[in-house]
A and B are shown apart, each in its own frame.
Chain A
Amino acid sequence: MLFWIKFAFRSLIRRYRKNIIIFTGFTFSIAVLIFLGAVMTGVNDTMINNALSLHTGYIVIEGSSGSCSKALENADRLKQLITENTGENKILTRVSIPVIIMSGKNSVPVFLTGINPEEERKITPIHSKIREGKYADSTDNSILISRSVSDRTGAGTGDTVKIFSPVLNKNASVSGVYSTGIESFDSAMVFTDMRNISSLTEGELFYQLSVFLENSDMLEKTVNDIKKYTDSESVRGWDEKLPDIYQLVRLNRLAMYIMIFLVILIIGFSVANTLVSSVIERKKTFSILKAVGSGGREIVFVIFSESLILTAASGFAGTASGILIVCITTLLGGIDLSPYISFNPNFAINSIIIPRLTPGMTLFPAVMALASGTAATLLPALRTAKQKVVSGMRNI
């Protein structure tokens, strides 16, 4: 077998001018595809992070309890269990209730959410999105509203608003106004310090734990682990909580895989073309081999080996180059796409894309190159194996 592999290698070297073009084409395409794949993964990461870091977290655990103290008691118990058993410690506790905010004659339905401002500052970026006034605190039943709610109610920093629900009618003062740029979030969320929540609300409260994972790849495992310690609470990963983002991420991945498939397929045709012409040029050589007693098996093996050596070498070089380009881009601080996407709500928080390599996206182009190169060899190899010796010997 070694003899035939050596033979295939020498054949490639002998026709190095043609083969170097294929090698370069394959290497370049694989490197570019790996880089694009990493950028696509980086875009997805940024999009997910923007959506999740703002408020939701990677995993959301929700339950309901009769009173504020009972809700907080349940939430704290669960938080302790999760930290002890999964090691995750970036967990935020919130309680919320649907209410109507009214200022003058204007009213808007929102979720009034009790937060721990000190903890929130450490994990979420809402505090950096405050456009006027200050963050929610425990003084004077204050609330933090969004620019959207402010515009619709006409209330601003320092104003007093009414908070309504079927069982509630309270006054609160506006401590500040924030704006994230994500309308769906801004129009629905009003914050207050957790310590105000019992004086501002009555009736059944919903409590929520948001888990911010260090490693997003651990999502499924952590969700399953958490489900072991919960009873009536619902545990949802971000993919269930934000299906629109999840679908967008999947669509991006699918589009990337289709692009890789098509690019490599096109290159596969060029390999087939070169191999066909190379095999025709060597009709005499293969005929001599057959005359001496080589079977179709040896000839198919030689042609396949040529293709495998070529695509494996370019696959290796392309993958190495792709990884190198990604590493350099990451070291340079990523790609700033703010001129193009800063008004897109999915990139409102951060529009710097850090390319990230995933095993699938890194290996797929090289594997595809190997597969298409091998498939491209099939026809010329079989045709040569079946070729009559005499037809190739006529020129000898």
Chain B
Amino acid sequence: MVLINLENLTKNYGREPDITNALENITLSFEKGKCYVISGPSGSGKTTLLNLIGGLDRPVSGDIVIDNLRLSGFSEKELTDFRRRNIGFVFQDDALIPELTVYENIELPLVLLGYKKKQRAVYTDNILSSLGIQLKKKNYPDDLSGGEKQRASVARAVIHSPSIVLADEPTSNLDRESADRVIMMLQKISRELGTTVIISTHDSNVISGFQNRIRLEYGKPV
């Protein structure tokens, strides 16, 4: 079952005459509950594509349809609300909020969705123990290793059971062992929760572990 449909998607940066085509007339679809890897060299449009699917940016032309909802018709407020409920992000850098503890970082999506403190505690403690970072829950991000930070990022991305998890180069700053652990974690989430996971990477080790691969070059799939 197709969850995400990209129809003739184009995205440019800059102004005339210095326009850079980040994505050019892309048409793609992603199925529900499957895991995808998007590969390609730097500047090929991987991050732009994830930003568009996640509603962080808007295309110049074309449409993004997610679960029969056309994102181009959404206002900023609606887009924020959509993102809050349906999308989980894992960024290249750990992207944890330094002012919050690991526990608070992970419970953040639940706070935004209006969960009560007790409900949040149940979900957060569960995910902390399943990802093996329970002992670090009172620590601030600065006290964690790279792998621990990225595991906390994954926990934050999936705690509210979104239908889509977008991971932009999640292993680029990790050692092999930590990188494998994060990728396995994402694949497990996709399998067990029926979440569509899209990972962008240029790491050949990561790419080889996926069946569904999309390669971008100069803003186009090849």
B interface residues, Cβ below 8 angstroms from A: 51, 54, 56-57, 77, 80-81, 83-85, 87, 89, 91-93, 95-100, 104, 108-109, 111-113, 156
Contacts and interface: CB of A to CB of B under 8 A. Distances in A.
A293 B83 contact: yes
Contacts of A389: 56-57
Contacts of B87: 293
A390 B93 CA distance: 15
B97 A288 contact: yes
B159 to A, nearest CB: 10
Contacts of A3: 104, 111
Nearest to B48: A390
A388 B97 CA distance: 18
Contact of A292 (B57, B98, B108): B108
A288 B57 CA distance: 14
B99 A10 contact: yes
Contact of A295 (B51, B77, B92, B96): B77
B57 A390 contact: yes
Nearest to B166: A291
Contacts of B100: 7, 10
Contacts, number: 61
Contact of B97 (A285, A293, A390): A285
A291 B99 contact: no
- How extensive is the interface on chain A, given as a class? 20 to 34
Contacts of B57: 388-390
A288 B95 contact: yes
8 contacts: A3-B104, A3-B111, A284-B95, A285-B99, A289-B108, A292-B109, A295-B81, A393-B56
A393 to B, nearest CB: 7
Interface in A350-396: 388-390, 393, 396
Given A389-B57, A390-B51, A295 B80 contact: yes
A393 B156 CA distance: 17
Interface in A291-348: 291-295, 298
Given A11-B99, A292-B112, A293-B112, A396 B91 contact: yes
